[in-house]
């Protein structure tokens, strides 16, 4: 990840982060999933990052997704 990336979503469930990433990419927003979970115990967070200049739009889309 080059440049300024912003955390816009965090979860303990990997599949939710992948769904958010896919939704953002459909809207032509680059997204990266960073898995910080311990591989043996699945303890920790999975985070979704987007470029800083897309963060406001991405957060709005994520919030709309949560309301559904």
Give CA–CA dist 48/33, Å, rounded: 5
Q: How confident is the model at residue 2 (pLDDT cuts 50, 70, 90)?
A: low
Does the pLDDT at position 67 exceed 90? no
Task: Quick: pLDDT tens for 54-64.
Answer: 999 999 999 99
Domains of the chain in start order, with CATH, are 5-67 (3.30.70.1530)
Task: Look at the block and give the residue holding tokens 């591989």.
Answer: 39
User: 47 pairs with which residues across the strands?
Assistant: 10, 34
Give residue 41's pLDDT.
Answer: 74
Q: Please, is 37 exposed, middle or buried when counting C-beta atoms within 10 Å of its C-beta (0-12, 13-18, 19+)?
A: middle
Dihedral sign for Cα 22, 60, 13, 41, please: positive
Question: Using one digit for the tens of pLDDT, what is the confidence trace for 15-48?
Answer: 999 999 999 999 999 999 999 887 777 688 999 9
Average pLDDT of the segment spanning 5-22: 95
């Amino acid at each position: 990840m080059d440049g300024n990336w912003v955390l816009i979503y965090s979860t303990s469930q990997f599949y939710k982060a992948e769904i958010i990433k896919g939704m953002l990419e459909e809207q032509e927003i680059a997204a990266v999933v960073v898995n910080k979970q311990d591989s043996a115990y699945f303890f920790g967070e999975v985070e979704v990052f987007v470029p800083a200049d897309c963060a406001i739009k991405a957060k709005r889309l994520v919030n709309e997704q949560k309301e559904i």
